[in-house]
Amino acid sequence: MDMVTSQIEARGVRMPSVLAAMRQVPRHCFVPEASMDMAYDDTPLPIGHGQTISQPYIVGLMTELIRPEPDFTVLEIGAGSGYQAAVLAALVKQVYTIEIIAPLAQAARERLRQAGYLNVEVIQGDGFHGWPSQAPYDAILVTAAAPEIPPPLIQQLKVGGRMVIPVGEPGGAQELVLGEKLGPRKFRATPVLPVRFVPFTRL
Ligand code: SAH
């Protein structure tokens, strides 16, 4: 498991709390059995239904970009395997994660429960609308690429809160974007890194 953190540390993820969380979360519990021997390689892996679990470096980078604090409530869009949610759950008070593909949502819920992450709630649905009932969030993390930042997500972010989201066309040029809500109507978006994510889909 240490391999993961030495790889991602070498690529610039430095926040000790994030590195500790990634050392602690058993990534092999979140990948299909067929890819188990690659669970700790710095690569994305297929998780079925055409989706992927992000590579450890990207998980580390996105987690660091939101500057997680123990009292945070975080919203994730795109639960997928549940791995990113588990890393967040190790760092913050409460995680809500939305997954649009029902069987993936169910599997992620099971895995997270079995791995003992009780502070994650998996919701099945279209994350475009966010999850208003628990808003506002200290941070929002989106793990599927959307052509534009969904306005409801900006609305549901606390003033002072941070968002990280891949923005761009499906299969085309995408940028990981850091969003900062500077005021009730002030949002600053800063490109961080070119990336390639699965598409943000709609119900
Ligand atoms: N964070 C995941 C990465 C999964 S890939 C992990 O750690 O494994 C991105 C996921 O986003 C896919 O499972 C895909 O089904 C989901 N997704 C795409 N569009 C969505 C939407 N509108 N709402 C919720 N989930 C969505």
Distance between CA atoms of residues 176 and 167, nearest Å:
6
Q: Write down the pLDDT at residue 142.
A: 98
Class of domain 2-195: alpha beta
Find how far residue 37's CA is from the centre of its chain. 23
The sign of the dihedral angle between the CA atoms of 95, 99, 102, 104 is negative
Could you tell me which residues are beta bridge partners of residue 96? 75, 121
Cis peptide before 136 (omega within 30 of 0): yes
**Three-class secondary structure of residue 25 per DSSP:** coil
Atom of ligand 1 nearest to the CA of 83: 7
DSSP H stretches of helix in 15-82: 16-24, 56-65
**Can you read off the two tokens belonging to residue 22?**
């990634």
**Where would I find the beta strands (DSSP E) of the chain?**
45-48, 51-53, 73-77, 94-99, 120-124, 137-142, 157-168, 174-183, 186-195
For ligand 1, what atom is nearest to the CA of residue 81?
8
Contact 134, 96 (CB under 8 A): yes
| Residue 2 pLDDT | 58
Ligand 1 neighbour 127 (Cβ under 6 A): yes
Tokens of 31: 């990948």
Identify the residue whose C-alpha is closest to ligand 1 atom 11.
Answer: 78
List C-alpha distances in Å: 47 to 15, 33, 77.
28, 10, 16
**pTM, two decimal places:** 0.97
Q: Is 58's C-beta closer than 6 angstroms to any atom of ligand 1?
A: no
Give CA separation, 117 vs 3, 50, 86, 172, in Å.
Answer: 23, 25, 7, 35
How many angstroms separate the Cα of 83 from the Cα of each of 128, 149, 156, 186, 191?
21, 23, 23, 31, 24
Inter-axis angle of helices 56-65 and 2-10, to 10 degrees? 70
pLDDT at 27: 97
Segments making up each domain of the chain, as ranges: 2-195
What is the chain's pLDDT, residue by residue, as a tens digit (203 residues)? 455 788 888 888 999 999 999 999 999 999 999 999 999 999 999 999 999 999 999 999 999 999 999 999 999 999 999 999 999 999 999 999 999 999 999 999 999 999 999 999 999 999 999 999 999 999 999 999 999 999 999 999 999 999 999 999 988 899 999 999 999 999 999 999 999 999 999 98
For ligand 1, atom 10, name the residue with the nearest CA. Answer: 78
Mutate to test the pocket of ligand 1, among 99, 121, 174, 203 (most ligand atoms within 8 A of CB): 99
Q: Which of 87, 101, 140, 195 to mutate to test the pocket of ligand 1 (most atoms within 8 A of CB)?
A: 101
* Distance in Å, CA 143 to ligand 1 centroid: 6
